[in-house]
Amino acid sequence: MGAFDYRRRKSREVNIGGVKLGGENPLRVQSMTNTSTMDTEGSVAQSRRIAAAGADYVRLTAQGVREAENLGEIRRILRESGENVPLIADIHFNPRAAWASAERVEKVRINPGNFVDPGRVFKQLEYTDEQYAAELERIREALVPFYEFCREHGTVVRIGVNHGSLSDRIMSRYGDTPAGMVESAMEFLRVAKSIGFNDIVISMKASNTVVMVESVRRLVKAMEAEGMDYPLHLGVTEAGDGEDGRVKSAVGIGTLLAEGIGDTLRVSLSEAPEAEVPVAIALRDYITARATAPSVKGEMADGYDPVTPTRRETKECGIIGGKQPQVVVGTDASAEYEPDSRPDIFGTDGMLTLDASMPREDLIKAVGEAAGCAVVLKSSAANPVAELQAVIHDMSRHGLKNPVIARLNYDGLGADDVTLRAAADFGTLLLNGAIDGIMIEADGMTPTRLAHLAFGILQAARCRITRTEFISCPGCGRTLFDLQSTVKTIKEATSHLKGLKLGIMGCIVNGPGEMADADYGYVGAAAGHVSLYRGKECVAKNIPADEALDRLIELLKADGKWTEK
């Protein structure tokens, strides 16, 4: 097989309530309720809708023992009505809730950042090696009984690490980094391995796709080095809603799926939970169809690091290549574009356009004879990402530094499919440092929408920031305000603020930690009240929700971040 062909990572099989995960099983899809877990009727109804949409698992929050105990009642009603979808308890800060959940549901998610370590307060701590070893022993003493209890009840454990909710202990030694995320997971995995408890799933989530992808890749490498093969859950946390949420999720999840990494996934959207499921299924099916694609001949270029790739070295060709931002190539200069979505270039005049499927020797020769010229590479292969990467790495192996525009066509598809597929394809090429620009063609979307999508992909891949970025959680039973309407209102008021990152979080669990990348945060503090953050600093506590947007705008004005529409 070629270096860029699709092949599934081999993982251990775990049995979650009869729906097996990992091994030779298909990629599983899940979603999470946003009802109060004490609302038995509402949680049951929403669980049914999620399952009916095609989800293999349903997750519910259990912030306390009372909610954990009610999961048993929700499960009983579902089972008595013939609905057998496995349930997962989501735990933060409260180990007692994890214990109560473990005997009532099929799987329990715990966060190493706050399961044994205290909740993060962003405090720098200092440890000697002996003191740090003592902390690890304290973790072991708490985990072993819990793992044994889960083994006794046939309950699977997900070790769910989130960027931004690492413990102060991990932060003090590793920083808020992918390496810190990996070590946070490995501490819990080593304890499980030492006692032979293998009913484990791991996730490494971030709202920053670069951090999320690097963290998962690093974890896979770390597990391989220590003889572990636990299955992986994929997700981009706080992805947002609408096109932005779908693009960001497809960029992060799609990049890893294209490498065969991942056994289950969730597309987290600030929308109704059942709306997440068809998006996740469409993304999964698009990538996994590559399992039957013809092999693509190709090797990785010397010095390329697939875990932390850097942008390919190229020479400047006008505004393309070198250290310049990646460009968007459009096809219709007459269209009326939004100010932040007008393509940089129209058409491919002056560029060398080649089909990546042509004989490789002829292609390399043609590129070599066009030194200093940007190359437009198109592919209609069953696995276009593999074919394009194989050619681009071949160019590097031959010392060719022509900048590359990737050109992919999605004619015959609806807008939703174009969005997901283009984000997954171009996102992979961008995160792997392969290309200097993108050109999307699709007869199912107008040139204006295609340009907007292209810039959205560049922003999701952290290559080029041209608009406001909204980091919003999908909501759950902890959410303290109407998340969907709030996101919509804040977007309408602030979407013109280019380059600003705003976090909109339903509760303190997801903020400020989970909005680690946000410049400002709008966080549920109590029923009907919101706290505002500047970075990780809370600057206004418990504001009535009907005043919070005005206060946020006042804060932006005071900081010089506000401009009128």
Q: What is the pTM of this model?
A: 0.92
Q: Phi first, then psi: give them for residue 360, nearest 5 degrees.
A: -60, -40
With contact defined as beta carbons under 8 Å apart, do 156 and 150 qualify?
yes
Domains and CATH numbers, the chain: 14-291 (3.20.20.20), 327-460 (3.40.50), 469-558 (3.30.413.10)
Beta strands in 297-351 (DSSP E): 327-330, 345-346
Pair 296, 390: CB distance under 8 Å: yes
* Per-residue pLDDT at 359 exceeds 70: yes
pLDDT number for residue 480: 66
Q: Which residues contact 141 (CB under 8 A, 6 or more apart)?
A: none
Partners of 239 in beta bridges: 472
Range with lowest mean pLDDT among 82-86, 118-122, 134-138, 331-335? 118-122
Cα–Cα distance list, 44 to 48, 50, 539 (Å) = 6, 10, 38
From 230-234, 456-460, 513-517, the region with the lowest mean pLDDT: 513-517
d(CA 349, CA 501): 36
Which residues lie below 8 Å from residue 476, measured CB to CB, with a gap of 6+? Answer: 32, 33, 34, 60, 61, 90, 506
What the block records as the tokens of 398 is 């031959």
Average pLDDT over residues 30-54: 97
What distance in Å separates the CA atoms of residue 255 and residue 289, rounded to the nearest whole number? 15
Q: Report the alpha-carbon distance of residue 429 to residue 312 in Å, rounded.
A: 11
Its sign, for the CA torsion 402, 403, 405, 406, is: positive
The C-alpha angle 202, 507, 58, rounded to 5 degrees, equals 45
Say if residues 409 and 442 touch (Cβ distance below 8 Å).
yes
Q: What is the pLDDT of residues 107-136, one digit of tens each?
A: 999 999 888 886 655 666 788 888 889 999
Share of the chain above pLDDT 70, in %: 96
Extract the tokens encoding 521.
């945060």
Structure tokens of 441?
Answer: 């063609």
User: What per-residue confidence (pLDDT) applies to 125?
Assistant: 74
> Higher model confidence: residue 119 or residue 187?
187
Among 209, 97, 109, 221, CA closest to 157 = 109
Q: Tens digit of pLDDT for each residue in 441-461?
A: 999 999 999 999 999 999 999
pLDDT tens-digit readout, 270-319: 889 999 999 999 999 999 999 999 999 999 999 999 999 999 999 999 99
| Residue 139 structure tokens | 């973790």
The dihedral built from the CA positions of residue 283, 285, 288 and 291, taken in this order, carries a sign that is: negative
Residue type (1 letter), 18 = G
